[in-house]
């Protein structure tokens, strides 16, 4: 993924928490200086809508108390947090609900609620940045990459009609959506936009692998991709882009995306009826904007009446995909629906 003339990214190899945090702090200080305002954490939160913990546990503890000390389970605040949750991975963005803080000056922490559901503490030493979230968006799950991951009951499965694209997004349109999104994020989080770019790229690559694997497993795989498009353009004197397609407007309710068919070759490779570059671009949009990848694969067993095995992957607006429904989950959902219909009758 790329954008035209983006802000200076984090230097290669400096993707640890402290280095990335320092880059963000320097940027916020520069913005405050240009506005001729004294910089502190409260100014960053009020004016730039971003908190980057200052060096020193004592200072960070005071900032944590100032910004989130009033949060409780009854009065939470939903935020997007860039933090490190695994030793072998860099910082990633998650959407969580802050329900309190840990009052420990030496090891301050946010107490956060995730969609798994579970409550956990995120230590400030693992936090790069926090920003407010848009109201109404679903919280993130942890462990979505694990083969043992169970879909969260707090996030519903889309209706079948929402899985079929009504408008085909062209490769050029997908590229414009990508550039506009990353441009918007550069205005929102400064140089931290590169962390969103990297996270979405990893999700796009995982989706590409999932789609390819499904194509190799059957004689035919129908792939339906839908993107939660929206207008992400921002006024900017430095960067000017072509307008987004009309279907990104708030008054447009048709579903945009891509439909394609895959088939397995005898040599084990996968044929795609369409452009792989087009597929890659639209999956990048799914990774950034959110959306669905629905796979219906006809097995290779040569059955007289082949039944497609269906799988649904979803990106819940937080730059990571998860398997939200397979054969087992679908059977349970259909049985539950039948029981509910009988009870209602």
256-313 tens-digit pLDDT: 999 988 877 666 666 777 788 999 999 999 999 999 999 988 877 655 555 678 889 9
Q: How confident is the model at residue 217 (pLDDT cuts 50, 70, 90)?
A: confident
Paired with 100 in beta bridges are 111
* Ramachandran area for residue 165 (φ above 0: left; ψ -120 to 50: alpha; else beta): beta
Q: Which two tokens stand for residue 159?
A: 């209706």
Does the pTM exceed 0.75? yes
Q: What is the pLDDT of residue 2?
A: 38
- Residue that has been written with the tokens 């950034």 in this structure: 288
- Residue that has been written with the tokens 């904007």 in this structure: 289
The whole-angstrom separation of Cα 285 and Cα 291 is 8
325-344 tens-digit pLDDT: 655 555 555 555 555 566 66
For residue 195, is pLDDT > 90?
Answer: yes
Q: Which residue has the higher pLDDT, 332 or 104?
A: 104
68-102 tens-digit pLDDT: 999 999 999 999 999 998 777 789 999 999 999 99
Q: What is the pLDDT of residue 274?
A: 75
Give me the DSSP letters along 15-41. -SHHHHHHHHHHHHHHHHHHTT----H
């Amino acid at each position: 993924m790329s954008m035209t003339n983006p802000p200076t990214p984090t230097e290669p190899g400096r993707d640890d928490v402290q280095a990335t945090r320092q880059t963000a702090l320097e940027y916020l200080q520069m913005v405050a200086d240009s506005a001729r305002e004294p910089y502190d954490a409260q100014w960053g939160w009020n004016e730039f809508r971003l908190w980057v913990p200052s060096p020193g546990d004592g200072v960070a503890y005071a900032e944590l108390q100032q910004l989130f000390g009033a949060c409780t389970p009854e009065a939470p605040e939903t935020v997007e947090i860039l933090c490190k949750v695994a030793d072998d991975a860099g910082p990633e963005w998650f959407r969580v609900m802050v329900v309190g803080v840990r009052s420990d000056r030496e090891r301050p922490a946010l107490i956060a609620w995730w969609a798994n559901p579970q409550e956990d503490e995120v230590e400030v030493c693992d936090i790069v940045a926090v920003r407010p979230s848009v109201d109404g968006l679903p919280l993130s799950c942890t462990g979505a990459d694990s083969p043992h991951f169970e879909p969260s009951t707090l996030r519903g499965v889309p209706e079948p009609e929402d899985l079929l694209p009504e408008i085909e997004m062209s490769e050029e349109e997908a590229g414009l959506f990508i550039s506009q999104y990353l441009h918007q994020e550069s205005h929102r989080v400064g140089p931290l936009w590169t962390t969103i770019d990297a996270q979405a790229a990893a999700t796009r690559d995982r989706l590409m692998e999932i789609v390819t694997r499904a194509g190799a497993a059957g004689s035919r795989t129908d792939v339906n991709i839908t993107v939660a498009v929206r207008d992400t353009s921002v006024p900017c004197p430095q960067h000017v882009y072509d307008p987004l397609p009309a279907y990104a407007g708030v008054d447009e309710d048709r579903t945009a995306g891509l439909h394609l068919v895959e088939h397995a070759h005898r040599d084990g490779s996968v044929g795609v009826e369409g452009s792989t570059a087009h597929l890659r671009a639209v999956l990048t949009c799914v990774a950034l904007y959110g959306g669905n990848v629905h796979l219906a694969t006809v097995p290779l067993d040569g059955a007289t009446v082949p039944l497609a095995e269906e799988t649904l992957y979803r990106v819940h607006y937080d730059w990571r995909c998860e398997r939200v429904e397979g054969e087992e989950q679908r059977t349970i959902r259909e049985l539950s629906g039948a029981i509910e219909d009988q009870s209602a009758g």
